[in-house]
Structure 1
């Protein structure tokens, strides 16, 4: 299945199941998925795991499922953490903003300094907004 088709099924509960398997990093059974994600029954967990298996994202070995293929467009995986890519951009913009406010501050505020500060603040705000939006949406 193509990456676009694989990412299309990653919505809602199926996405939560996939993210759980990614974070866990080891094979898990249907009951564990059901318990951890508070799904109503093991059959619901099995349904979502089957969807992921049909898409080629998950493999089943003796009833234990593990991630077969990682599809992360807007996240970076560091260990067991999934961090939105925009987080790194927002941290860079924050550091630039701090440097502008401390080291590059002129004795008299000029138009150029104000414009530079406003632009950096705008970029920082945009990247923070995108980071929180990505986290809230849970979209890969």
Structure 2
């Protein structure tokens, strides 16, 4: 596999600042300019933002338009594990964890006198694993966004 193809499949080659620029473009529903990104991300100079945008454009992750820069719809593999919900980027696991937690609570309420404890234990352990992994992924993303 060529180096460029490997880079498109893995976002690990991006530094934290470049990743922050890319995530901000993904969160935006419209093209963003260099100065607008500089203000949002609190970078010291527009040239720093331009450098990161040029890197992202080189790797084919963003596209320059007349209005500014937009993220291409094809996501790298690591960001495909995240989904944007109401403008927030969260791990794709968390909505499943919420749904399964609600389903387990409904199951307990509906079948209260006769509960299958084996099923209850298995479901609880599975849901806890989803929550722990989802929170771990969310903290990693927050750490990257703070840098």
TM-score, normalising length: structure 1: 0.80
In the alignment, what sits opposite 1:99? 106
Structure (1 or 2) with the larger CA radius of gyration: 1
Distance, in Å, in 2 between the alignment partners of 1:10 and 1:104 is: 50
Provide the secondary structure at the position in 1 that maps to 2:112.
coil
Q: Report the number of matched residues.
A: 134
Q: 2:136 aligns with which of 122, 133, 136?
A: 133
Q: 1:31 aligns with which of 29, 35, 40?
A: 35
Q: 1:58 aligns with which of 62, 68, 86?
A: 62
Map 1:1-140 to 2 at 5 A.
Answer: 1-2=4-5, 4-6=6-8, 7-62=11-66, 64-71=68-75, 72-78=79-85, 80-106=87-113, 113-138=116-141
For structure 2, the residue ranges without an aligned partner over 5 or more in a row are none
Say what the alpha-carbon RMSD is for the aligned residues. Answer: 2.3
TM-score, normalising length: structure 2: 0.77
